[in-house]
Amino acid sequence: MPQNRLTRLFQEKSGNLLNIYFTAGYPKLEDTVTILEELEAAGADLVEIGMPFSDPLADGPTIQASNQVALENGMSIKMLLSQLAQVRERVSFPIILMGYLNPVMQYGFERFCEEAARVGVDGLILPDLPFAEYEEEYKPVLEKHGLSLIFLITPQTSEARIRQIDGLTNSFIYMVSSASTTGSQVQASDAQQAYYAKVRSLGLKNPVLIGFGISDKPSFELACQSAHGAIIGSAFIKALQKPAEVRENVRSFLKTLR
C-alpha cells in the first residue's frame, strides 16, 4: 500500500487531531469545495465528506435532514466527484468519503474507487460493508487504488473483533463514543472512560479517533485525552445552518474549537 495523506498525517501529528464531517451538497449544492478550503484554513486536520443517502441508518436527525436537503439540491456521487476534480489544487489535508454501500454499489465500486483516488481522496468509510464481503470482494480494489478503509468500533465491540479491525485497516480506527446514532448528546460517564481506557490498553497499531456526540471544545478536548483526536459531525452541520455566509459559519465554528 503506497503511503497516502492519511498515513503521513498520523506520522506527523500524534494528538489533538480534528476531523470534521459534513454532507456533500449541504447547505447548498456548490458549497463542497468552499467548505473544504475554509476547514483547512481554520485548522481542521482531516475531513470526512458524507455522500448523501435516502436511508442513512446510523445517523441521527441532524445528519438525516442534511442528507435529505443535499439530495433535493441534486447531490450525487457523480456530482461530488466532479466537484472534487480540481480539489487537490485547493487543499492538501486528507479527504475521506463516507457513505452507505447502496449508492456506491450502483455507481460501480471499481469505478468509484478509481475516480475517487484520481481526484485525491485518501480513504473511505462504508459503515454497512461487512468484513467477509470486504475481504473477498472489496479489499483488492481499494488496495489497487491506494484507498484506506476506515472501520468503526463501539462499546459493544469485542476485543477480538477490535484486534481483527486493527489488522484490516491501515489509517485509523473510528471509535464510536457510545451506543448511539450520530448527533446524540453523550454524557461523559465512568463506563465511557472505562471503554476508552480498555481500547487504549490494547496497544493497537492504528491511531484512534473518537466520534459521535463530540460537539464542542470541552467534548473535543476530553476525547483527545483518550485518543489521537476526534470527529465532529452533527454540531458542524448545525453550525452551517446559521444565517451567515457559509465561509463565515465554518470559520466561527472552528474558532470555538481551536
Partner 1 sequence: MEYRVNDRGYYGQFGGAFIPEMLYPNVEELRDKYLGILQEPDFQEELQELLRDYVGRPTPLYHAKRLSEKYNTKIYLKREDLNHTGAHKINNTVGQILLAKRLGKTRIIAETGAGQHGVATATVCALAGLECIVYMGKIDTERQRPNVEKMRLLGATVVPVTSGSQTLKDATNEAIRDWINHPEDTHYIIGSVVGPHPYPDMVARFQAVISEEIRKQLLEKEGRELPDYVVACVGGGSNAAGAFYHFLDDPSVKLVAVEAAGLGVDSGHSAATSMLGKTGIIHGSKTLLMQTEDGQITEPYSISAGLDYPGVGPQHAHLAQTGRARFIAITDADAMEALRELSRLEGIIPAIESSHALAALKEINAGPDEVVVLNLSGRGDKDLSTILTYFEQQDASK
**DSSP, res 145:** T
Identity of the residue, 71 or 246, whose beta carbon is nearer to partner 1 in the bound complex? 71
Identity of the residue, 16 or 181, whose beta carbon is nearer to partner 1 in the bound complex? 181
Identity of the residue, 127 or 146, whose beta carbon is nearer to partner 1 in the bound complex? 127
Residue in 9, 35, 176, 239 binding partner 1, rule: CB under 8 A:
176
Q: Check residue 128 for interaction with partner 1 (CB under 8 A).
A: yes
Residue in 16, 29, 33, 71 binding partner 1, rule: CB under 8 A:
71
Catalytic residue of the set 31, 40, 59, 115: 59
To partner 1, the closest distance from the beta carbon of 7 in angstroms equals: 22
Neighbouring residues of 33: CB distance < 8 A, sequence distance ≥ 6: 83, 84, 87, 90
Contact between residue 63 and residue 237 where contact means Cβ atoms under 8 Å apart: yes
Q: Please say if 59 is a catalytic residue.
A: yes
Q: Check residue 53 for interaction with partner 1 (CB under 8 A).
A: yes
Q: Which string of b and e fits 134-165 if b means at least 16 CB within 10 Å?
A: eeeebeeebeebebbbbbebbbebeeeebeeb
Identity of the residue, 11 or 106, whose beta carbon is nearer to partner 1 in the bound complex? 106
Q: Using CA atoms of 173, 88, 252, 25 in order, give the dihedral in degrees to the nearest 10.
A: -80
Site residue total, partner 1 (CB under 8 A): 40
Which residues inside 219-238 make contact with partner 1, applying CB under 8 A?
A: none
Angle of helix 246-257 relative to helix 32-41, nearest 10 degrees, comes to 30
Catalytic residue of the set 31, 40, 45, 48: 48
Neighbouring residues of 21: CB distance < 8 A, sequence distance ≥ 6: 47, 48, 49, 50, 63, 98, 211, 231, 232, 233, 236, 237
Q: Please say if 216 is a catalytic residue.
A: no
Which residues inside 96-115 make contact with partner 1, applying CB under 8 A?
A: 100-107
Residue in 138, 151, 172, 253 binding partner 1, rule: CB under 8 A:
151
Contact between residue 162 and residue 204 where contact means Cβ atoms under 8 Å apart: yes
CA 229 to CA 17: how far, in whole Å? 4
Return residues touching partner 1 (CB under 8 A).
53-55, 57-58, 60-61, 64, 68, 71, 76-78, 100-107, 127-130, 132-133, 151-154, 156-158, 161, 176, 179-181, 184
